[in-house]
Amino acid sequence: MWHEGVVDGYRYFAKVYDTGSKFGINAGRVSKLEIREDKNNGITVYNYDRGLDFDNAPAGLVEKILALYPEEAK
């Protein structure tokens, strides 16, 4: 399922599954994650699509987003 939100002024789009996967970030539930500056669909600072493409996100931002989708589905 796709999720979208804003954390610390950055908009994210995440594909999240019910269980973790070898394709997920840190073998977790998020298999795709794009983070953009939240200004007129600003520049992309992080992209993971079944593997890390690039990471220019501020320190700790990815971890904050991943914490919204813990290993066990709610």
| Residue 33: partners with Cβ closer than 8 Å, 6 or more residues away | 12, 13, 14, 15, 25, 46, 47, 48, 62, 65
Could you tell me if residue 11 is inside a domain?
yes
Task: For Cα atoms 25, 23, 66, give the angle at the middle one, nearest 5 degrees.
Answer: 20
Could you tell me if residue 50 is inside a domain?
yes
Report yes or no: 31 and 17 within 8 Å, Cβ to Cβ: yes
Could you tell me if residue 57 is inside a domain?
yes
Half-sphere exposure of 47 (CA within 13 A, CB side): 5
pTM for the full model? 0.90
Quick one: tokens of 57?
């996100």
Of the pLDDT bands very low, low, confident and very high (cuts 50, 70, 90), residue 73 is low
Could you tell me if residue 72 is inside a domain?
no
Note down the domain range covering 43: 2-66
What's the domain count of the chain?
1
Radius of gyration of the chain (CA): 11
Could you tell me if residue 74 is inside a domain?
no
pLDDT tens readout for residues 24-68: 999 999 999 999 998 776 899 999 998 999 999 999 999 999 999
